[in-house]
Every structure is written in structure tokens, then in C-alpha cells.
Amino acid sequence: MLPDFSVVIPTCQQPALLLTCLEALAQQRLPRDQYEIIVVDDANSPETATAVALLTKQIARSGGPLEIRYLGQPQPKGPAAARNRGWRAARGHVIAFTDDDCLPDSNWLLSALTGFQRGAQVMTGQLCLRFTTNTTPTNARTAYLDMSEFISANCFCRKSAIERVGGFEEAFDLAWHEDNDLQFKFIQAGIPISKCPQAIVVHPMRETPWYTPLTNERKNRYDALLFKRHPELFRQRIATDRSLMLEQYAAVLGVMFGVAGTLSGSAITSTVGFGMWGIVSANHIWHRLSEEANTASLIQTVTTTLATPFVAVYWRLYGAVKYRVLYW
């Protein structure tokens, strides 16, 4: 008998988190013969493969067999490609997607099953962000997770529906906007997307290096790709802080004018340019100060705040050039 669900989990160099996720999936209240788990390893790591095999045996000893398949990617292509390989290898009627750093609730699959028995084609569950004293909801990635309508960490698709639209677009080779692209393809194909708030996945927010907000700015380039593929839906459904974008461009232009004025000997141009940069930077720093608790974090905050406009604008322009599209 074919399972009702195939749970697809992309992973890459996070074996400890992956095992915790698999342990949570083993606690599902849905009978184990009604779902399978497919792990797709973008790093093709022997250590991860061995860890998954050992955990599969432990799970079987504790509560009966649960089919967990490990698939190693021949070459790293990103989470979108990993998910595509996973759902194409699936035997279940419904594909359930989550991430290796997430913890599905014990009723996750059972809650979704009810919706599909009523005729749902695609469903999105509720993603609950869990913060600690060392993790606060301040960065762009957190805001994206919190506000996204459709997110690959907690969604379900009939296999026939995802086959119809061709799966994830693999040009999104980092974890950014590939789920929005799939959502937009469902919308354009006339496939309804239902909500199932009872299907809960917890996403613990881990502490990251202080410079992570700067490295995450490289994902801005995918705004251009998503806009090029779905311009109208991008405008309608992607929350873009246009005032923040304007301020970032103003900061960069301010420094450019300031430097140009200094080199040309124009005191007015230099003063206006650096003054504009100073006002924008001071405003951003002021809004971040109340979130920091010690001197070290204050220094890091000032550093990232001053550098962010330049990094963000660079990656937006990089995306516009790479994908040959002007977007706003």
C-alpha cells in the first residue's frame, strides 16, 4: 500500500539538527505505514548518511519501522533542486515539505490529512518561530519567515499538483523566494492554496555570527529573478519595505557625492553628501540601539548598520544586471 504522505527534507551539513527533526517526525500520531520520509543531502555527506541509517534503526526498535530514505545529491545545487529530487522520488499521494532545522508538531501530518480528505490540492501550515534570550526577531530573514504566505518549511502539495507546475525553480539556488515562485505558479495554474493552521511546525531561531545580516543580503539578488518571472504577483504579494530601500540608496549616493565633493574640492557637495549619509545612518542606528544589551553587541550593530546599505544595494543591482530586469 502506498503511503498517504511523503515528507521531503533537504539538508546540508547539519546532521545534528536533521536528526532532531527526524526524531520529531517519528512522533507523528499518524500511523507509520501512512507516511515515508525522504532526506535529500545537498552535501552528499557520508557522515549524514550513516547518522540517518543509525537513527532509522533506533526508531524501528522503539516503535516499529518507519521508512526513511536517504538520497545524496551528486553535486550541490541548493534546496530547490534537493526538494525536486525528493518529491520526484516520492511514493506518497501528498508531498509534505519541511526543513532540517524545524520541528513538526506530533499532529502535523494528521491535521493536514483532514484537509486533503476534503479535497485540498495545496495547503500551507503554521510556522511558529521560537526565540531564545540570544536570538531576537530583528533581521530580514526572521521578518520573511514571519510574514510569508507560503513557505517551504511547512507546506503540502498533492503530487499531481506539483507535477503540473513543474516543481521548484532551481535557479533559486539559495533558500530565498523559491517557495514564493512555487506559490505563484500554483496561483497562475488556478490551483487553490488552502490554509491549515492546525498543522504546526516550530522553527527554533539559532544564534548566528554577528555578520550574518550582511551575508544574508546576497539573497536580495533573487528579488530581481522573482520579479522577472512574476511581476504582477511580486508587486501584489511580496512585502517590500520601499522606504528602507530608498534610505539605503540615499546612504550610498550620499557617500558617493561626499567622496566626489572631497576629490573635486567642492565643500558644499561634500557636506551635503556626507550629511545625507550621516542622517540616514544615525536614524538606522538609533532604531537598533534599544535592541542591544552590551557594548560588544552595540559595536557590532553599528558596524553592520553602516555597512548594510552598501551590501544591500550591491546585491540588488547585481540581480538586476544578472537577470536583465529593472524592478522596484
Number of structural domains in the chain: 2
Question: In this predicted structure, what is the pLDDT of residue 293?
Answer: 52
Domain span at residue 315 reads 211-328
Q: 123 and 46 share a domain?
A: yes
Q: 178 and 260 share a domain?
A: no
**pLDDT tens digits, one per residue of 142-184:** 545 555 789 999 999 999 999 999 999 999 999 999 999 999 9
Q: 309 and 236 share a domain?
A: yes
Question: In this predicted structure, what is the pLDDT of residue 150?
Answer: 95
In angstroms, rounded to a whole number, what is the distance separating the alpha carbons of residues 230 and 305? Answer: 31
Q: Which residue, 320, 327, 324, 5, is CA-closest to 158?
A: 5
What SS3 class is residue 97?
strand
Question: Residue 291: what are its φ and ψ, rounded to 5°?
Answer: -90, -10
The amino acid at residue 105 is D
CATH code (residue 59): 3.90.550.10
Domain boundary (184, 207, 230) is at 207
What SS3 class is residue 106?
coil
Q: 293 and 220 share a domain?
A: yes
In angstroms, rounded to a whole number, what is the distance separating the alpha carbons of residues 311 and 133? Answer: 28
Distances (CA, A) of 152 to 7, 8, 52, 169, 249: 12, 10, 22, 13, 31
**pLDDT tens digits, one per residue of 280-312:** 999 888 887 765 555 567 788 889 999 999 999
Q: 234 and 316 share a domain?
A: yes
Q: 105 and 235 share a domain?
A: no
Beta bridge partners of 104: 201
Q: 283-319: b or e for each residue (b if 16 or more CB lie within 10 Å)?
A: ebeeeeeeebeeeeeeebbbebbeebbebbbebbeeb
Q: 77 and 147 share a domain?
A: yes
pLDDT tens series, the chain, 328 aa? 899 999 999 999 999 999 999 999 999 999 999 999 999 999 999 999 999 999 999 999 988 999 999 999 999 999 999 999 999 999 999 999 999 999 999 999 999 999 999 999 999 999 999 987 665 555 545 545 555 789 999 999 999 999 999 999 999 999 999 999 999 999 999 999 999 999 999 999 988 898 898 999 999 999 999 999 999 999 998 876 678 888 999 999 999 999 999 999 999 999 999 999 999 999 888 887 765 555 567 788 889 999 999 999 999 999 999 999 988 6
Q: 40 and 139 share a domain?
A: yes
Question: In this predicted structure, what is the pLDDT of residue 142?
Answer: 54
Question: In this predicted structure, what is the pLDDT of residue 204?
Answer: 94
Beta bridge partners of 73: none
DSSP of 216-261, one letter per residue? HGGGGHHHHHHHHH-HHHHHHHS---HHHHHHHHHHHHHHHHHHHH
Domain boundary (207, 231, 251) is at 207
Domain boundary (149, 172, 207) is at 207
* Residue 261 · residue 273 · CB < 8 Å: yes
Question: In this predicted structure, what is the pLDDT of residue 280?
Answer: 93
Q: 201 and 220 share a domain?
A: no
